[in-house]
A and B are shown apart, each in its own frame.
Chain A
Amino acid sequence: MSLQSGSEGGVASLFAARLTVSGASEVGETLSAIAWSPGGRRVAAGSLGGELILCGAGGRDAVRADTRSPVLALAWSSEADMMAAACEDGAVWLWGAGDEPVRVALGTTAEDMAWGAGGLAVALGDAVVVMHGGGEGRVDVEVPPGAAMVVAWTSPGPGAALLLGGLGGLREVLLHGAGGESWPSAAVVALAVDPSSGVVAAGTLGGEVLIGRESKRMRVGRDAVSSLSWSRRRSLMATVADGALAVRTMQADGTMDGPHRLAGHDDWVTDAAFGPVGTLLASVGADGRLVLWDPGETSDPLERVDLGAPLTTLGWSPDGRAVAVGGQDGVLTVVNCSQLAPA
């Protein structure tokens, strides 16, 4: 693999054999979240400094908004007509196409959110709010304080339940029925639902991952699980803990095989996610690298590209042909990896 490096106008333009930088936009402060619109035509990024940008799929032509509070999570509606940003001051910003973003104050802090067929679910620490129709309708569900720090829908379709992670562990919230199970554990800080089996993985503050309704415990590190992702098929699960990236495979009986450590960074791994197609995995690290893997085939890296500043977050385009990455220097870079994507 050949790797060349250079810089144009402060924007990294580095090329690996099968990766090219499509474009970049500068935010200015450390990026904390990235999300692509479902159609893949736009990409949004938020910073810890409170800036929000919307770019074209190439990472250029950014329009900006200032939320004045750290952006902690981003999500798009499935119709792609609206993007939402959860902010540390408890507000959610809703940004429709061609409109000015609208601020909706929900609570003391907005920690995480997930958009599903049931609406936009926002975790507020002591409650979860599900919003419909751009904020006109909403359902509030109170939970013990600190219990709603991360949120996910059990499936993208209608009738799905909500999963909440936080202090006390994991709990299920049924919006149209009473009750829901709960799984007490150390504080849950990361959630991911396997798209092929529906199995839930919950990463804890103490470096464990709880798998499925039986809540089988698996140690993946000593420190908090900072990233958790399932592959679209074959039930591979990637974890980042203690700055290391590892992949495990769920067997037919629900047990996990592995771990297979993936070594391709020279420094702390900060984020990793499987792409929406096949078993392609992307990771970013404090070494400024984006690394592409296919852990279903090999534990060697497929490609690496060095983008300079330490990287903090990444997001796959819906077609799996590009990855947007953001770093401490506040630059959002879109890397084209279509040569690696399965046909």
Chain B
Amino acid sequence: MMSPKIPVTVVLGWSAAAKGQALHSLAGDAPATMAVVTSEPVDAPPGARVVEAVERVAEQSLGCPCCALRLDVRSALFRLVAQRQAPQRIVVVAGTGADPGPLLATLLCDLHMVRRTRLDTVVTVVDGREAAVRLATEQSFAPDDQGAQHIAVADGVVVVGASQLTRKARGDLGVAVGRLNPFNPWWVEDGSPWPIPPAGGAEGDYALAGLADRLDGLRRPPAATSRSVLLDIEGEADPDALRTWVRALCRGQGRRLLRLQAVCSLRGRTDRWACSAIRSFYATSWCAPAPHGQPRARVLAVGEDLDVDALAGSLRLTLTGA
């Protein structure tokens, strides 16, 4: 018994050209059964239906821009699902600077979407040359870098243009990608040797031409549980304990954690600690004091098969010690 929900593949990344190649590979020999939703010009396979989406975002839950719904993508998906001959597969191409959070929240948490579509895979295409330049100048991907988020959230990462890099640049890039996404496999487009084996997957003679076959092994099961939980607990945390909690959470549940947004009161401070995490990758910042001065922690987590009870229990323990 097949789910009538249309599978949606999300293609993220920095290179529009490489994303176009990925689309051609995903379409295989049946482009007419595929539809592409995109907010930037992309070389879609001939015969595929293309729907343009102009970014339109609605705030969600904690009021931060990254906890939002992509209404443009939702509208585009509605238009496709409404058709009598609905596509058998939809590929959503995110813009180079797009935050993947709202896009994934739309596909995983919007009640109208989850009834009609299912998130199949998230693949990120990384332009190795551009990434190497960033790494050479900044030593690491900045925590708020959208490219870093694209790598962190992917079910599979493809590095293109790696053959033109020096051995050192390839090594640095390998370490950076592995750190951002230790859970899922990544490949080199041209099959050239990689100095440091990937931490989470297998290096191989991969080329974008075989992307569809590669992604077969990464697909989420049709009935994978997608969950969101909003924890709202009174209390203020010890800063070190909170950092330890986030680190442990990202390590323990990172494979299943697609998005976490936290705003917490800290002992001895009036401003609040904010944290944004994708899988094992997290970034922190400070935000304004609580509106009514009441110390509390609000955490929104979106993921698959999340252990919600463990999440709530450990946060409560961190905040109250009980």
Interface residues of A (CB under 8 A from B): 28-30, 47-49, 69-70, 72, 88-89, 108-109, 111, 125-126, 144-147, 149-150, 167-169, 184-187, 189-190, 204-207, 221-224, 226, 242-243, 266-268, 270, 286, 310, 328-330
Indicate if the CB atoms of A207 and B225 lie closer than 8 Å. yes
B58 contacts A70, CB within 8 Å? no
Query: Measured between alpha carbons, how far is A266 from B2 in the docked complex, in Å?
Result: 10
Q: Does B310 contact A (CB under 8 A)?
A: no
* Candidates B2, B75, B118, B230; contact of A167 at CB < 8 Å: B230
Interface of B, helix, strand, loop or mixed by DSSP: mixed
Does A186 contact B228, Cβ atoms closer than 8 Å? yes
**Smallest CB gap from A219: residue in B:** B225
Residue numbers in B under 8 Å from A146 (CB-CB): 59-61, 67, 69
Q: A224-B111, A267-B2 are in contact. List 8 more A-B contacts (CB 8 A).
A: A47-B82, A88-B74, A145-B60, A145-B67, A146-B61, A167-B60, A168-B232, A205-B108
- What's the interface size class on B, roughly? 35 or more
Q: Give min CB distance, A113 to chain B, whole Å.
A: 14
Cβ distance B316 to chain A, nearest Cβ, rounded Å: 12
Q: Which residues of B contact A189 (CB under 8 A)?
A: 111, 114
Question: Chain B nearest CB: distance from A244 CB in Å?
Answer: 9
Q: Check: B109 CB closer than 8 A to any chain A CB.
A: yes
Chain A contacts for B118, CB-based, 8 A: 223
| Residues of chain A lying within 8 A (CB to CB) of residue B86 | 30, 328
Contact A267 B1 (CB under 8 A): yes
- Give A149 to B45 CA distance when docked, in angstroms: 36
Q: CB distance B226 to A145 under 8 Å?
A: no
Residues B239-267 near A (CB distance < 8 A) = none
B63 CB–A CB distance under 8 Å: yes
Task: Please give the distance in Å from B269's CB to the nearest CB on chain A.
Answer: 24
Spell out B's residues near A (CB within 8 Å).
1-4, 58-63, 67, 69, 71, 74-75, 78-79, 81-84, 86, 108-109, 111-112, 114-115, 118, 223-232, 300, 308
Closest to A49 in B: B82
Q: Is the interface of A mostly helix, strand, loop or mixed?
A: loop
Taking CB atoms, residues of chain A closer than 8 Å to B67 are 145-146
Residue of A whose beta carbon sits closest to that of B232? A184
Q: With CB as the reference atom, state the residue of chain B lying closest to A329.
A: B84
| CB–CB A224/B114 < 8 A | yes
- Contact partner of A267 (CB less than 8 A), chosen from B4, B63, B79, is B4
Q: Please give the distance in Å from B201's CB to the nearest CB on chain A.
A: 26
Smallest CB separation, A192 vs chain B (Å) = 14
Residues of chain A within 8 A of B71, CB atoms compared: 88, 108-109
Q: Could you tell me the distance in whole angstroms from the C-beta of B271 to the nearest C-beta in chain A?
A: 21
Docked-complex contact B84 and A270, CB < 8 angstroms: no
Q: CB distance A169 to B1 under 8 Å?
A: no
| Chain B, Cβ-Cβ closest to A221 | B223
Contacting pair B61 A168 (CB below 8 A): yes
Closest CB-CB distance, B287 to chain A, in whole Å?
A: 16
- Give CA–CA (A270, B112) in the complex, Å: 13
A111 near B112 with CB under 8 A, answer yes
- Whether A125 lies near B3 (C-beta < 8 A) is no
Least CB distance from B67 to A in Å reads 8
Q: A145-B58, A167-B61 are in contact. Are A48 and B231 (CB under 8 A)?
A: no
The interface residues of chain B lying within 8 Å CB-to-CB of A270 are 4
Give the CA-CA distance A270 to B69 in the complex, in Å.
Answer: 24
Q: What residues on B are CB-neighbors of A286 within 8 Å?
A: 4
Do A222 and B223 form a contact, CB below 8 Å, given A145-B61, A268-B3? yes
Query: Please, how many angstroms separate the alpha-carbon atoms of A70 and B115 in the complex?
Result: 14
Question: What are 13 A-B contacts defined by CB distance under 8 Å?
Answer: A125-B60, A145-B58, A145-B63, A167-B109, A167-B230, A167-B300, A205-B226, A222-B224, A223-B223, A223-B225, A267-B1, A268-B4, A270-B4
Contact A30 B83 (CB under 8 A): yes
A145 → chain B, closest Cβ, in Å? Answer: 4
